[in-house]
Amino acid sequence: MSKNSASETAAIADAAPSDMVRKPRVREQKGWRHKDAVSLLRQMILSGELAPGYALREVAISERLGMSRTPVREAFRTLAAEGLVELLPNRSVVVAELDENESIDVFSVLGTLESLAGQQACQRMTPEQLERLEALQREMEEHYNNHDRASYIRANRAIHELMVEGSNNNALILAWRLILPRAERARSVNTLDRHRWAEALEEHRKIFAALAARDGLRLSSLMQDHFARGVIERMTDTKFKNRVRVRAGSAERAAEPVAD
């Protein structure tokens, strides 16, 4: 074998392990691009930037997000499974309509799941999780006193998530995560007035007390009442319906026209 051939063989051998290391990183980057596309589009839908019925064109969205069409196409499928977009027979994609009756059904299911999760969390939540929940409760109280709605909502969401995780029921957690985006979308147009905000905070105090006492039956009942009073009843209110229409109309006017 010539010296050149031997050198080429050695170079190929040296390069092979490096290639084997790089390929998984490429796949990982593709996975992150898909997650980024899902996260960005979900936030645009939940915020109302992309209105119900708005046509999502693959090329325009990929350019807008600064990524290739493949992760955008995959993101459409993920968001369709979450009920945030619709995949139409002609291969077009539109933002799903915000249906009031469906939203009530979604919150009914979410309330049932969280009620069961709370009951099981009373038996299964670790002391460390309970301490974290207590810290979040204090944090939420502070945000309420400071009239900081955005921070209050973030702490509130973290409390609900931790309670569900505390159930240590993987099937329940999966079902909860699947339906949560639909509920978050309805919540995005449901603004608490000060009176209801105070009521919700008091309900959370009672919920935490029941959890700390490991009283599953009481906590389950409190969770059902919390959802019924805080969400479902408000969903049937005329003011909520008007907010849905105004929010959708504003988003349609603000959305940029897109074309392939």
At 78 the pLDDT is: 93
256 pLDDT more than 60: no
The pLDDT-based confidence of 248 (bands split at 50, 70, 90) is very low
Q: Which residue has the higher pLDDT, 69 or 28?
A: 69
Delineate the domains of the chain, giving CATH numbers in brackets.
12-97 (1.10.10.10), 100-246 (1.20.120.530)
At 191 the pLDDT is: 59
pLDDT digits (tens, 9 = 90+) for 88-141: 988 899 998 877 777 788 888 999 999 999 999 999 999 999 999 999 999 999
At 227 the pLDDT is: 87
Q: What are the structure tokens assigned to 204, written together?
A: 């959370």
At 17 the pLDDT is: 41
- The dihedrals phi and psi of 234, each to the nearest 5 degrees, come to -70, -30
Q: Report d(CA 134, CA 114) in Å as an integer.
A: 18
**What share of the chain in percent tops pLDDT 90?**
45
Point out the least confidently predicted range of 29-43, 73-87, 111-125, 203-217. Answer: 29-43
6 pLDDT more than 60: no
Give the SS3 label for residue 87. Answer: strand
With b for 16 or more beta-carbon neighbours within 10 A and e for fewer, the 105-122 pattern comes to ebbbebbebbbbbbbbbb
Instruction: Compute the average pLDDT of residues 182-210.
Output: 83
Predicted TM-score (pTM) of the model is 0.67
